[in-house]
Amino acid sequence: MIDTEFDSKHIWHPYTSMQNPLPVYPVSRAEGVYIELENGTRLIDGMASWWSMIHGYKHPILNKAIHEQLEAMAHVMFGGLTHEPGIELARLLVELTPPALEKVFISDSGSVAVEVAIKMARQYWINQGQGEKSKLLSLRGAYHGDTFAAMSVCDPVTGMHHLFKDSMPLNYFAEKPTCRFGKPCSEQDLLSITSQLQTHHTEIAAVILEPIVQGAGGMWFYSAEYLTAVRDLCDKYDVLLIADEIATGFGRTGKLFACEHAAISPDILCLGKALTGGYMSLAATLCNNKVSNGISKNGGVFMHGPTFMANPLACATALASINLLLESPWQESVKNIEQQLSEELLTCLSSPSVNDVRTLGAIGVIEMQEPIDLKIAQEFFVSEGVWIRPFGRLLYIMPPYIISQEELGSLTNAMLKFTKLQ
C-alpha cells in the first residue's frame, strides 16, 4: 500500500500548503495514455505529465534505450569528459532547430535552461565591454520557470511569484500581444515592446519570450507576425532574442518548434519537457556563433556547470524520443488532435461560465469567467476517469500525441461537463 498518510505529513508537493494540503492520488503504474491508481482506477492523462510525455507512458523503444545505456554507463561528469549519447544528441539538436543555432549546453531542467540563457546573454554583453546591458525584457503573461532569474522574467502577477518581487532582479515588461494566432499583428500590438526597446535598449541584454504560446502564465496563443516583428526589433536595437520553447518544442503547436511558425531563428533557444519524451529531467540551451564567440573571446569561459549535465541515461533517452517522434506521423496526429479539440471544445462558448476557448496543435484551453476550485475540479475529473489539472481560470489539456479519438473525446466531454457545473 502507498502510504498517503506519510505523504500528507512529510512530502511537500508543488504549489501546495503543508497546513492544508490538497489530496494526492496514489499511482501504481502508467502505460500508454493511462495512469492507473492504486485502487485500480484508470485515468486518461490529459496533461502528458506537465506536457512532457508526448509518446505516452512505458514506451518499449524508450525503455530499451534506457536499459541499453544503463549497461554501458549511468552517469559520468561532463567536465573534461564526453560521451556518445551527449554528442549525438547535440548533433541532432543542431540539425533540427532553427538555423544558426550551433552551440549546445545540456543541463538538467527547464528552469536551469532559462537560467543558462540569461547568463549567456549577460556574459555576452559583459565580454563586449557593455556590462550596462544587464536587464531582460519580457512579456506580460509570461512564464519561464521557478528559479530566481527565471522568476524575474515571469509576469509579476500571473507568474505565481509575486511573493518574491522584492528579492528578484528588476527587469522590463512589455504588454502581451492581443493579436490571436492566425490573425494579423497590428502596429498597436507592437507599441509596448517597441517603446520599451526604444527607451531602454542600452540597458537590455535580451528579449525573452515563449514563441507563439504563452504557457503557464495564461495559455495565450498569439500571432506569428508579432514574433517576426520582435526578431526585427531585436536586430534594430541590438539586443539578443531568447526563445523559451520548453513547453512548445517537439511538435506541440503543429511545428517541430514554434519559432517555425514565424520562420525566425533566435540567438538563444531553451528546450526541455518533451526532450526525453517525459522520461527523465533534461534540458538544453542552444545559441548561435555570435553569442558563443562573444562569450569566449579573450579567453572567456561560460560560468555554469550542473553536476548532472548531459547525463548519459537522459541523453540516450532523448535521442530515442526525438527519433521516435521524427519516424512517426506526428504532424498528422497533432493536426487531428487540433481539429477534434476545435470541434468539440468550441461548443461550450455559449455557456455563461466560459470566457474564451483556444486551440492550437495538441493544446486545448477553456478560459472560465471565474477561478476554478482545484480540489473540487480534481475530484470531479478523477470521478470522470480523466486526469486534468486546471489552474487559475484555465481548464486545459495537452495530451500525449498517441491519444486515440475516443480517448480524446473522453477528455473533452469531461471538460464540457465541468463547465456546465460552474
143 is known as an active-site residue: yes
C-alpha 135/C-alpha 201 separation (Å) is 9
Within 10 angstroms of residue 298's Cβ, the number of other Cβ atoms is 5
Q: Which helix (H) or strand (E) holds 368?
A: strand 363-368
Greatest Cα pair distance in the chain: 64
Give the residue from 408, 413, 410, 385 showing the smallest Cα distance to 398. Answer: 408
Quick one: CA dihedral 295, 296, 300, 305, positive or negative? positive
Give the residue from 379, 392, 291 showing the smallest Cα distance to 43. Answer: 379
SS3 142: coil
C-alpha 162/C-alpha 10 separation (Å) is 26
Catalytic residue among 108, 155, 189, 244: 244
Q: What are phi and psi of 346, to 5 degrees?
A: -65, -15
How does DSSP classify residue 222? B
The residue type found at 240 is L
273 is known as an active-site residue: yes
C-alpha cell at 57: 507512458
The residue type found at 133 is K
- Cell 503573461 belongs to residue: 141
124 is known as an active-site residue: no
Strand partners, 204: 135
Sequence-distant (6+) residues with CB within 8 A of 367 are 219, 354, 355, 356, 357, 358, 393, 394, 395
Within 10 angstroms of residue 27's Cβ, the number of other Cβ atoms is 14
34 is known as an active-site residue: no
SS3 396: strand
Catalytic residue among 273, 279, 396, 401: 273
C-alpha 402/C-alpha 252 separation (Å) is 12
Within 10 angstroms of residue 29's Cβ, the number of other Cβ atoms is 12
Catalytic residue among 34, 143, 279, 396: 143
Just list the catalytic residues.
15, 143, 244, 273
